[in-house]
């Protein structure tokens, strides 16, 4: 792993920094530019990394991770543009397309765009990555290594597919939390104590996901194995089908994907 410069030191950047260090990267090989004094102090105390208040103070290592708010990126990119040579720029900024970032960076093209999700905070995330055709395999491998520090990775061949990635895995944790909330509330409505309801809902989601991850069988097969003819699960699934839950999930993903595309258009007009 090359030395890495983080521009922005928020929660996702901190998660990646922690993952990199846990994977063997030395804290001395990481620098962070972060304007918030409290965030800088926390990063220094927690990880022992070098922090700066301003981009002009940064050394700019061969790998640069952009982790600022989307609205701040045009200004940050403009400040970076004149200092870039062979740097690999990895963006974890939601919604900003490669063409817009390249334009703000003065034509720099060695860019990998990524879409991580919040389970990265506990090293259990999944990240979608896209690189334009001109980005070489070495750069792709370096970007993948950075994001693997916080979970799995999935490459997409078409940048527009990142809208679907955003809708599924980026927004997906919220859908899961929504279902957990609902399952927990339903358990309480059946008379279970709140603490018991929460433990059952959380452990059921964790266990089912772990089983699906570790099994060679499709989720549909695993579902069928739980569903005995005439049993409780069959009756429960029938109620979900009657409520059009599957269609609702599809509509949620479609709506989120459309919004992701709209945000890309809007954010591309920032500068």
Averaged pLDDT score across all residues of the chain: 97
- Residue 177: predicted pLDDT: 98
Task: Give dist(CA 258, CA 269) in Å, integer.
Answer: 17
- Check the CA dihedral 101-105-110-116 and report its sign: negative
Give the pLDDT band of residue 1 (cuts 50, 70, 90). low
Q: Which residues contact 218 (CB under 8 A, 6 or more apart)?
A: none
Express as a percent the part of the chain with pLDDT over 70: 100
Query: Which pairing describes strands 111-115 and 125-130: parallel, antiparallel, or unpaired?
Result: antiparallel
CB atoms within 10 A of CB 145: 16
Q: Looking at the predicted structure, is the pLDDT value of residue 264 above 90? A: yes
- Mean pLDDT in residue range 25-30: 97
Give pLDDT, residue 257. 97
Helix axes 11-22, 137-148, angle to 10 degrees: 100
Best CA proximity match to 126, nearest among 106, 144, 107: 144
Query: How far from 45 is each of 1, 13, 50, 67, 211, CA to CA, in Å?
Result: 23, 15, 10, 20, 37
Q: Name the token pair of 254.
A: 């479609």
Q: pLDDT digits over 91-108, tens only?
A: 999 999 999 999 999 999
Is the overall model pTM greater than 0.85, yes or no? yes
**Which ranges in the chain belong to alpha helices (H)?**
11-22, 37-47, 73-81, 98-104, 137-148, 161-165, 172-189, 194-214, 219-226, 232-242, 245-268
66, 91 Cβ separation under 8 angstroms: yes
DSSP 25: -
What is the pLDDT at residue 2?
A: 80
Of 99, 61, 93, 62, the closest CA to residue 76 belongs to 93
Q: What is the mean pLDDT of residues 137-141?
A: 97
pLDDT digits over 232-241, tens only?
Answer: 999 999 999 9
């Amino acid at each position: 792993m090359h030395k890495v410069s983080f521009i922005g030191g928020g929660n996702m950047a901190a998660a990646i920094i922690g993952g990199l260090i846990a994977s063997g990267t030395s804290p001395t090989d990481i620098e962070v530019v972060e304007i918030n004094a409290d965030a800088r102090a926390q990063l220094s105390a927690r990880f022992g990394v070098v922090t700066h208040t301003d981009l002009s103070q940064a050394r700019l290592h061969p790998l640069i991770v952009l982790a600022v708010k989307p609205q701040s990126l045009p200004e940050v990119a403009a400040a970076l543009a004149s200092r870039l040579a062979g740097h690999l720029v990895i963006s974890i900024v939601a919604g900003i397309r490669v063409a817009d970032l390249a334009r703000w960076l003065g034509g720099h093209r060695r860019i990998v765009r990524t879409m991580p999700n919040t389970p990265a905070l506990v090293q259990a995330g999944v990240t979608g990555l896209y690189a334009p055709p001109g980005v070489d395999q070495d750069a792709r491998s370096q970007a993948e290594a950075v994001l693997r520090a916080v979970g799995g990775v999935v490459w997409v061949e078409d940048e527009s597919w990142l809208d679907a990635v955003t809708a599924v895995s980026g927004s997906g944790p919220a859908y899961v939390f929504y279902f957990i909330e609902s399952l927990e509330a339903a358990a309480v409505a059946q008379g279970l104590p709140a603490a018991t309801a929460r433990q059952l809902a959380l452990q059921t989601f964790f266990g089912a996901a772990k089983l699906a991850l570790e099994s060679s069988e499709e989720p549909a097969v695993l579902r069928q194995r739980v569903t005995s003819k005439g049993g409780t699960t069959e009756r429960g699934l029938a109620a979900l089908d009657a409520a059009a839950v599957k269609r609702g999930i599809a509509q949620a993903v479609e709506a989120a994907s459309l919004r992701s595309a709209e945000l890309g258009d809007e954010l591309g007009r920032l500068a």
